[in-house]
Structure 1
Amino acid sequence: MRWLALSAFLFVSPALAQTPAAPAPAQAAKLPEVEPSGFQASVQPERVLLGEPFTYELVITHPANQRYELELPPDLGDFELLSQARTPPQAGKEPAVTLFRLKLSAFNLGMVTLPEVPFLVSTPDGPKRFVAPGRTLEVGSTLPEDAESKGADLKDIQPPTEVAIRSWMLLWGLLGALAAAALAWGAYRLFQKYRNRPQAAAEPPAPLDVRTRRALEALKAENLHAQGRVKDFYFRLSEIVRGYLGERYGFDALECTSSELMAKLRRIHTPGLPEDGLLRFVSESDMVKYARAESSPESCGAALAFGYELLDKTWPPPPPPGAAPSVSHASGPRVP
C-alpha cells in the first residue's frame, strides 16, 4: 500500500505524504497542553530572498513514551509549505529526540514571522497538544541593491499577448479524429458480436462486518506473533482495521497517515467509536512497524482483541431517524 511506503516514521499520514498535514480538528484546540523537555528551532539560511526555499528545523526533546506529530494549519499566511519530513527518535533512547524539517518559501518582504506550529502529542495519559512559537525571518528582494536607482523595479503581471506561430495541431487533430472513429467502429462491431453471450452471475459480496470478522479470524489462525513475525502481524491487523474504518465511514483510510486518520474520524459522526483505544492501537502499530519496537504475545493478543472490540462497538450502523432498526447479519462466533 502507498501509505505504508510514504508514511514511514510519520505519526501522523502517508506518509512522508506529499501534501501538507490535515488541519487539526476543533477538538484538538481543547486538549490539555504539554511542554517538552527541550525545544530548539532554527532557520537555514537566516536571510532568504523572496520566493526562495529555506529550511525550518524544529528539534523536540521529550520522554520516550510520548510521540509528537505535526498538525500544520492549511493557511500559512505569507509562507508556502513545499515539503515536510520527520526523523523519529532512536528506539530505547531516553530522553527521545524528534526532528521535524519543513521546507518553506516566503512571499512578503521585510521581517516576517513564521506561524506557530501545533503538535498533537500522544502520552500515556491520553492525547495532548504542544504549540511551538513563531520565529522571525528576514526576507529580501531578488533585485540588486542599486535596482531602483537604475530604473529597475518589480513589474506587475502583463496581460496575455497573441503570438502567431506555425502549428500542425489542426492536421494532428484531424488524424486523431479519424483514428478515434475507426476505433469506435471496431468497438461497435465487437460489441455487436458478443453482446448476446451469456454472462456469469456475479456473487454479491458479503456484508462488511462478515468480511472483517473473517479477516480477523484468518489472522488469528496464522498465529504470526508466535512465529516471530510481529511486524507482519501488525501490518496485517492495521490494514484490516483501516479497511473496515474506511468502508464503514466512507473515506479512503488506507491512504491516510495516522494523524490524517484520527483527524478525519474526529470530524465525522462516529457513534460508539473507541477513540482512545484506536489512538493507542495506531500509536503501538506505528512503533512496531516503523520504529522496530518490541511487542509481547500479550500485546499482540490485546491488539487483535481491539479489532473485535472496534467491530462490536461500531457495527451495525445506527438506523436513520424514523427508520426501523436493521437486523444484523450472522457473522459467526465472536472471539474476544
Structure 2
Amino acid sequence: MRWLALCTFLLVSPALAQEPAPAPSQVALAKLPLVEPQGFQARVQPEQVLLGEPFVYELVITHPADHRYDLELPPELGDFELLSQARTPPETGKEPAVTTFHLKLSAFNLGMLSLPEVPFLVSTPEGPRRFVAPARSLEVASTLPEDAQAEGADLKEIQPPTEVTIPSWTLAWVLAGLLTAAGFGLMVWRVLRKYRKHRVAQVKPLLPLDVRTRQALDILKSEDLPAKGKVKDFYFRLSEIIRGYLGERYGFDALECTSSELMQELRRKKPLQFPEDGLMRFVSESDLVKYARAESTPESCREALAFGYELLDKTWPPLVPPLTEASLVSNASGPRVS
C-alpha cells in the first residue's frame, strides 16, 4: 500500500506543478512593473458616437513575438457599458507581433466623456508585467437633429439614478405556479373534451393592420400609464406599436433596427405623406426616456400618443381607388359576349 501511494504521488505532482497560475486581481496587477509596447494605436468606430447606440473601441498593440497581452478591464467603466469584447491574436512567427482588441461599448451620458484607462497583463520571458492604455476623451451626441430645439423638442436633463426597494416575490411566484398548473389542467380537460366530441376548431381571421394598430393605441390610451408614474413603460409600449406598424406596413424588421437604421430604411423606401420630422422627434425623445432615464411630462406623453394616431392616419392607404367616369360607363354596359 505504501508503494502504491508513493507512485500515485509521483504521477500527480508534475501535473499539479504544470497548472497555470491564476490571473492577478486589479490590486495585484497595479503592483507589477510597467512595460511599454513597440507601438500603440486606439480609435473609435464610428467617429460620431450617439447616445445609447453601440460603438467599437479598437486597441492595436505592436510588441515582441515572445510577449502576450491580455485585457484586464475594471468592473466599472463610469459612463460606459461594456457589451462585448474580442481579442485578435498575432500571426505565428511574425516579428514584431500585432495584437488587436475590440471593445463594443455604449454611452449613457451626453457631452465630452472620458474613456477610462485600459490595463493589460503582459506575459514576458522575464515574468509578468503590465501596460496601461491612456484614457481618451470622447464626445457623445444626442440622437435629436440639430434643429430640434427650434422645432420645439425641449427635453429635460438626465437625472441621476435613484434607489429602488425590491420586495420579495416568493409567495407571488408560488401562487402564480399554482394558478399556472390549474390553468394547464383546465386547458388539457377542454382539449380532451373537444377531441371526444370531434369538434372542428375555427380560426379567427386576422384583422387589418390599421384596425389592429388603432386598437393597440386605444388600449394604451385607456391604461393612462403616465398618470401612474410608468412613463418608461408607456414609451416602450408606444415605440413597439409604432415600430411594429411601420415594419408590417413597409416590409422590413423595424423592431430590430436601431433609431438610425429605422430612419435610413424609411428614407430609402420614400413613403408618400410620411411625417418624417415628427417620427425623428418621437424616436429621439423615446430613446432618452427608455435608455438615458430622462423625464417626460404628461403633456409630452399625450403628444407622443397623438403622433401615433397621426402617423396611422397619414400613412394608411384607402381601401379602394376612386371610380372614374370611364369605369362607371364600362361597368354599366355589362360584360361583352363574343
TM-score, scaled relative to structure 2: 0.44
Question: More helix by proportion, 1 or 2?
Answer: 2
TM-score, scaled relative to structure 1: 0.44
Q: Which has the higher contact order (CA 8 A, sep 6+)?
A: 1
